[in-house]
Amino acid sequence: MVIIIKNKFDIEKMRIVGKITAKVLNMIQKYITPGISTGELDDICKDYIYNKKKVISACLGYQGYPKYTCISRNNVVCHGIPSYKEKLKNGDILNIDISIIKDGYFGDSSKMFIVGQCSNLAKKLCYITQKSLYEAIKIVKPNLPLRNIGKKIQKIAEKNNFSVVREYCGHGIGKNFHEEPYVLHYDDHRNKILLKEGMIFTIEPMINSGKRYIYCEKDKWTVKTKDNSLSAQYEHTILVTQTGYEVLTLRKNEKII
């Protein structure tokens, strides 16, 4: 219905929580190694989030979600539940999705990690997914039609013979985990929304190496590709500024290129 425009105070709080969210993703990098389980990676993130940063995971308890992070490996599209039984192997690709609450404000970001050496296809999928996010971020500015974001992502994915998952989208974020505007990662000509300074939303494309179709496991969370192809996702929380954008979850050493 209504898109909440953030004020200076909100934006400062969103910068703070965004930075913490980004730091979790940098912190976990050195633990990504063959043999470690996704359950152990979740434990390490939990310890860092609660004991080091003294903040809260937005995942735990969200619609009954049982863990602190989502870890989605290979053919898992999103919402993979960390498990001590799921051990990383050389050549795996995985997404770690971190959602944090500090002072009532939410931060949300995810990235791909590669375990050892992966296939050229897996590498390309991760690269193209990140590129689609970056190219979409770079066009963000006041008065941009919101649909141009999805149009950009779809074009890059499909040019590379990959497909865009349609069942999940980016979302406005602030004092709510998910709010308007909802940001599709494919073109929807019916969407007439124009971006305005002070909007904050995520862009979080999920791109498959095969067809776009997905299904959900009996655990009600784990989403997989129907054709067992690989899936990749990158996510940032973005503020629309007077002249363009600010990436609130930008990591140290990360450049939007």
Closest separation between CB of residue 83 and Co ion, Å?
22
Residues of the shown chain interacting with ligand MF3 in the complex, contacts defined by CB under 6 A: 59, 62, 65, 70, 79, 97, 99, 108, 204, 235
Contacts of Co ion in 147-206 (CB under 5 A): 202, 204
Q: If contact means CB under 5 to 8 A according to the sort of partner, which of ligand MF3, Co ion, none does residue 70 touch?
A: ligand MF3
Q: Which two tokens stand for residue 39?
A: 């359950």
Closest separation between CB of residue 161 and ligand MF3, Å?
26
Rule CB under 5 A: say whether 108 interacts with Co ion.
yes
CB 101 within 8 A of CB 90: no
Q: Which is nearer to ligand MF3, 65 or 245 (CB)?
A: 65
Q: If contact means CB under 5 to 8 A according to the sort of partner, which of ligand MF3, Co ion, none does residue 129 touch?
A: none
Reply yes or no: is the peptide bond before residue 181 cis, omega within 30 of 0: yes
Q: Which is nearer to Co ion, 36 or 60 (CB)?
A: 60
Q: If contact means CB under 5 to 8 A according to the sort of partner, which of ligand MF3, Co ion, none does residue 86 touch?
A: none
Rule CB under 5 A: say whether 249 interacts with Co ion.
no
Closest separation between CB of residue 108 and Co ion, Å?
4
Burial class (CB in 10 A: 0-12, 13-18, 19+), 8: exposed
Q: Which is nearer to ligand MF3, 60 or 141 (CB)?
A: 60
Closest separation between CB of residue 240 and Co ion, Å?
17
11 three-state secondary structure: helix
Which H or E element spans position 135? Answer: helix 120-138
Q: Rounded distance, CA 97 to CA 79, Å?
A: 8
Half-sphere exposure (Cβ direction) of 178: Cα atoms closer than 13 Å: 10
List, in order, residues 6 or more apart from 224 with CB less than 8 Å away: 75, 76, 77, 214, 215, 216, 217, 231
Q: Which string of x and - marks every residue 196-235 that binds Co ion (by CB under 5 A)?
A: ------x-x-------------------------------
Dmax over CA atoms of the chain, in Å, equals: 48
- Of the candidates 161, 162, 74, the residue with the CA atom closest to the CA atom of residue 113: 74
DSSP character for 114? Answer: E
Q: Which is nearer to ligand MF3, 49 or 118 (CB)?
A: 49
Closest separation between CB of residue 38 and Co ion, Å?
19
Closest separation between CB of residue 34 and ligand MF3, Å?
26
> What angle in degrees, to the nearest 10, is found between the helix axes of 120-138 and 147-159?
150
Closest separation between CB of residue 82 and ligand MF3, Å?
11
Q: Which is nearer to Co ion, 208 or 249 (CB)?
A: 249
Contact residues for Co ion, defined by CB under 5 A: 108, 202, 204
